[in-house]
Amino acid sequence: MDKDEKKQIINSYPHFKLFTPEVQSKILEQGKINRKNSNQVIREKGSICNSIDIVLSGSLNSFTLSESGTENVVFNFERGAILGGNLVFSPSPIYPMTIFCKKDCTTLNLSRELIVDLLDDKEFAIFFITMISKNAQSLNKKVLTYTQNTLRENIIEYIQELAVIQRSNTVRLQIPKAELATLFGVQRQSLFRELKKMSDEGIITSHNKEITIL
């Protein structure tokens, strides 16, 4: 990839134009453009985080694997999101989940050493702090959703998220219902009772691991 093509790709990221010419020059010279196809892994669980990745196009998901081998999607990273921002300076910079491309994606990789250098610039420092704060807010929102919502609200939101990912109103659960109950912080019997109530009320139909939103 020549420098002009690289500059064109990076310029598609709105924040880049807000940085000083010096910061832009350093990113162009030392930043790395990576392209991945749909379903390719970009970061593996347990790998060391020594850089950040800015999503320039496409989208990525983070997931965990259950003991049975099924995938549980936890977070979604869209254009403009930063991967590794809250880990790169951590005492234990280890990725807790695998991250893969939901769609073909292009990312800009910045090394830890480059970030340290760029943080001397006020605008970049504000940008970096803002982005890792957004990551923290997303995590807090996820936690609050499951702790403040009713069980039915959590079930509906979970099914709706799967419907978007699987592009169908009939979704296949990615984890056993027992694990789903644990995720929601309830007993397995409570989850089964609520699913039956929702089925009896005509909100969903449920058969084994398949659930249809009516």
Q: Is 60 exceeded by the pLDDT of residue 70?
A: no
Q: Are residues 45 and 142 in the same domain?
A: yes
Q: Are residues 18 and 112 in the same domain?
A: yes
pLDDT value at position 151? Answer: 87
- Where do the H-state alpha helices sit in 94-187? 112-118, 122-148, 151-166, 177-184
Q: Please, are residues 106 and 56 in contact by the beta-carbon 8 Å criterion?
A: yes
Q: Are residues 34 and 124 in the same domain?
A: yes
- Where do the H-state alpha helices sit in 149-185? 151-166, 177-184
What is the total count of domains within the chain?
A: 2
Q: Are residues 128 and 162 in the same domain?
A: no
pLDDT band with cut points at 50, 70 and 90 for residue 66: low
Q: Which domain holds residue 187?
A: 149-213
Q: Is 90 exceeded by the pLDDT of residue 45?
A: no
Q: Are residues 76 and 39 in the same domain?
A: yes
Q: Are residues 59 and 112 in the same domain?
A: yes
Q: Please, are residues 132 and 86 in contact by the beta-carbon 8 Å criterion?
A: yes
Q: Are residues 142 and 167 in the same domain?
A: no
**Which of the listed residues 147, 165, 188 is the one where a domain comes to its end?**
147
Query: Who's near 46: CB < 8 A, 6+ residues apart?
Result: 94, 95
CATH number at residue 98: 2.60.120.10
Q: Are residues 92 and 129 in the same domain?
A: yes
Q: Are residues 105 and 192 in the same domain?
A: no
Task: Please give the average per-residue pLDDT across 105-119, as a whole number.
Answer: 95
Q: Is 90 exceeded by the pLDDT of residue 10?
A: no
Q: Are residues 94 and 119 in the same domain?
A: yes
pLDDT band with cut points at 50, 70 and 90 for residue 8: confident
Q: Indicate the residue type of 57.
A: S
Q: Centre a 10 Å sphere on the Cβ of residue 200 and count the other Cβ atoms it contains.
A: 9
pTM of the model: 0.65
Q: Are residues 139 and 199 in the same domain?
A: no
